Amino acid sequence: MMQPTPSPHSFPLSLWPSSRFGGFLTTIGLSVAAAYGTVKVAQLWRDLQRAHEAVLEKSRRQEEELVSLRQFLKEKDTEVEQRKAAVLSHAKEVDGLRKRIVDLERERDVARQQHQTFTDQAKNLGSRNQRLEGELQRLRAEHMQTTQLLDVRSAELKGAQAFLTKDDRLSGADVIKLVEELNGEIMQTAASMAEELTITEKVQGNGTEEVDREAEPEYIADAHSRTEEIIGPRMTSLLKTSDHHEDPILVQIALQAAMAAYCHWIASSWAFESPEDEHMLSEVYARVREIEEQAVSGRWRQLTRVHLQRMLVHEPDLVSDMIDACAKIFISAGLKEGSSTIYQRISDRFGTAMSRLMTKAQQLNKEIGEGITSCDLEALYIAPDVAFNAMMMEDALGSPDGKASELGHEKILCTTDLGLVRAEKISGKVGEWREAVLLKPKVMLYSGIAGSNGKVE
């Protein structure tokens, strides 16, 4: 058996003192031992407290660490859950992508098949396109030829339609109204002019002495000559020999005759050019009228009038010529003023009225020349010294019907109002027309003037 280990504070029995001293020593030893034990216990207590505190501190730290670890674990668990959710989502996405890949591969295969099909079709279409391109070129060439032919035929048809149309812009009644309005304007202007420019009483020569023509100023002789050309020699003679200071009716008649003659020329003119050109165009038209049908000749006239008048570089000065003719009439009637003075007076006072007259005459020219093709309408003017014909003309002073037959052998002095005649080519005939006077021109007779004015010699 093992021997017990001796205590460090134990002494051998042989060393302990005996009796009282020994008891004292024992007491002291016990006291010391007790004190020492107390100190030791205190020390142990403190050590124990420190150890306990250390344990508590360690426990607190471990608790804190445990809480931290729990929090960390919780966060990790949350993160793990999130990652699980993400992984699950990614897994679903991957599944979806896999399905999409499968679908795309399927579509790719279909597309490849379609591509192959389309490639084959494209090859076939390429061959067909080449054939069609050749066919297209051929058709284009044919189309161009057809278009050119169509243009030619259309132009021919347009020309034929233009020549065959019989549509008129105005009726005969409308044109009659235009002529009557023109006549009314002529009469009003002539009457106002005759009243405005008064002529003094003429001085009679001694006995039967006649005025020496060679003594007349040149402008007067020129006026007489020009007046005879316009209104005729007999009417000019009446103007020269009659007195007009009391009643200017002869001057008015002469002015009307001059204006009517001039307006007739304007209404009938082709292009307001020289008489030679007008005569040539009239001759050509007469040949066309004689041979061609009415629709063709009427359309020819219409087109010729339109294009000839468009070719005019300048508008003709028609008013000046008319004023000059009126001035010559006043000089022939005995107005004692210079030619330029008379011209200026007429121009200042009646220039607007003259311009209005010319406009109406030009309008009549346009309507009967360009607006009527189904027939020929012409302004009717009777030249001086033509025998009176009651079927074609009318006495301006209104002779009784019973006396009209007696006037058949009398020659007219002049025409004061224009008339209107209609002529239409008889189809299928050469040089044959149906003619009708739609409006009789009014003419002046010497017998009528003598009956209304006793001073006429």
Is 444:412 a contact under the CB 8 Å cutoff?
Answer: yes
Which pLDDT value is given to residue 320?
A: 92
Is 261:415 a contact under the CB 8 Å cutoff?
Answer: yes
> What are the mean pLDDT values of the chain's consecutive 10-residue runs (457 residues total)?
49 51 66 72 77 80 83 85 84 85 89 87 85 88 88 70 66 93 96 91 54 67 92 92 88 96 93 82 89 85 85 77 94 90 94 94 92 90 93 84 58 95 83 88 88 54
Is 269:364 a contact under the CB 8 Å cutoff?
Answer: no
Q: Identify which of 320, 370, 316, 382 has the alpha carbon closest to the alpha carbon of residue 350.
A: 320
- The residues with which 434 forms a beta bridge, in sequence order, are 424
278: tokens are: 């007008």
Q: Identify which of 221, 168, 179 has the alpha carbon closest to the alpha carbon of residue 381.
A: 179
Q: Identify which of 208, 263, 258, 214 has the alpha carbon closest to the alpha carbon of residue 236.
A: 258
Q: Provide, for the chain, the percentages of residues in helix, strand and coil under a 3-state DSSP scheme, each rounded to the nearest 5.
A: 70, 5, 25
Which pLDDT value is given to residue 235?
A: 93
Is 228:236 a contact under the CB 8 Å cutoff?
Answer: yes
How buried is 183 (Cβ within 10 angstroms: 0-12 exposed, 13-18 middle, 19+ buried)? buried
456: tokens are: 């006429």
Report the interhelical angle of 218-231 vs 249-268 (nearest 10°): 60
Determine if residue 383 is left, alpha or beta; phi over 0 gives left, psi from -120 to 50 gives alpha, anything else beta.
beta
Which pLDDT value is given to residue 9?
A: 47
Is 237:308 a contact under the CB 8 Å cutoff?
Answer: no
Kindly calculate the radius of gyration of the chain based on its CA atoms and give it in whole angstroms.
69
- HSE of 436, CA atoms in CB hemisphere, 13 A: 7
Which pLDDT value is given to residue 417?
A: 96
Residue 385 neighbours by CB under 8 Å, 6+ apart: 232, 234, 411, 412
Distance CA 417, CA 396 (A): 8
- Residue 426 in 3-state DSSP? coil
| Three-class SS of 51-106 | HHHHHHHHHHHHHHHHHHHHHHHHHHHHHHHHHHHHHHHHHHHHHHHHHHHHHHHH
- DSSP letters for 276-335: HHHHHHHHHHHHHHHHS-HHHHHHHHHHHHHHHHHT-SS---HHHHHHHHHHHHHHHHT-
Which pLDDT value is given to residue 257?
A: 96
